Amino acid sequence: MNYNKLGKSGLLVSELCLGTMTFGKQVNKEDSIKMVHQFLDQGGNFIDTADVYVGGESERIVGEAIQQRRSEVVLATKVRMKVGPHPNDFGYSRRRIIEGVDQSLRRLNTDYIDLYQLHVWDNLTPIEEALRALDDLITAGKVRYIGCSNFLAWQMMKALSYSDFKRYARFISVQPQYSLVSREMDREVMSLCKEEEIGVIPWAPLAGGFLSGKYKSKEKPEEGRFAEGSGEYGWENKATDRNFEILQAVEEIAVEVGKTPAQVSLNWLLGKSEIVSPIFGASNLQQFDENMGAVGWTLSEEQWNRLDQASRLPDEYPQRFLDKFKRHI
């Protein structure tokens, strides 16, 4: 397992991050703990969860799993989603963030969180209020670093600029949806992250399982995530001609290298300079083993470029226009 620096920090994280959204739901407690221990035994050190996953059960299981190995783990969790029936049980008010971190610390059975992330932009709370609360948590020692997730480029830049202006701790990472079939972040977010040294830790690197190769036609699955999913997990958003063409390229290269489509899709992400650590999940131990097989080897330059060409966004304004005026020495 290789390790990468997380954004503009000295924190080193494994090239794969174990996502735990399935813990306590698709994966029982016993197997969840096995996954964590196997991940650590194989050199992984980066684990991501959230207060809202399975009503807090994911955090509780992760906390139990790492109890004897806390010093090995870079532990990440998130705040923002609704966790109770009351009007202040969601969002980024100072009250919610401080309550949220204390609740997460209790569930995780730890006295600090390595990476505390804002889960989704909150249009009700001024970002200035959230950033002050996060900076205070770092000063108090409850949080070591902060990041964001599912932010637009202007929202990230507004937060970074305010943090710099007030000399608060700034985001070192962003967690967006990103995969071979979801490259919308290439429009603005990825270039912003490169400029500001923000580490990208993408969720859904296998597009909810679409890139695993188990879907062979546009017919809607009768079971699984896409059977009843909507939004980002709506079948209509995945089962497009373009996405099946990308999947075909993945499958062809998988045959060439003797790997699975999931392993090829994850390995392609490892070859992108902006990507620090894709967050993979698993519904069972077999999927976990398969995903861990994405490291320890490398696509050839020709294979990587073939996937890049098949999946890149259309040539668009303003990038198309700006590229004409690039200056070189």
φ/ψ bin of 141: left (φ > 0), alpha (ψ from -120 to 50), beta (otherwise):
left
Q: DSSP secondary structure string, 225-267? A: HHHH--GGG-HHHH--HHHHHHHHHHHHHHHHHT--HHHHHHH
Q: DSSP secondary structure string, 273-314? A: TTBS--EE--SSHHHHHHHHTTSS----HHHHHHHHHHHSPP
Residue 155 CB partners (closer than 8 Å, separation 6+): 121, 127, 148
Helix (H, G, I), strand (E, B) or coil at 182: strand
CB–CB of 294/16 below 8 Å?
Answer: yes
Residues identified as active-site: 53
Say which amino acid occupies 240.
T
Q: DSSP secondary structure string, 90-107? A: SS--HHHHHHHHHHHHHH
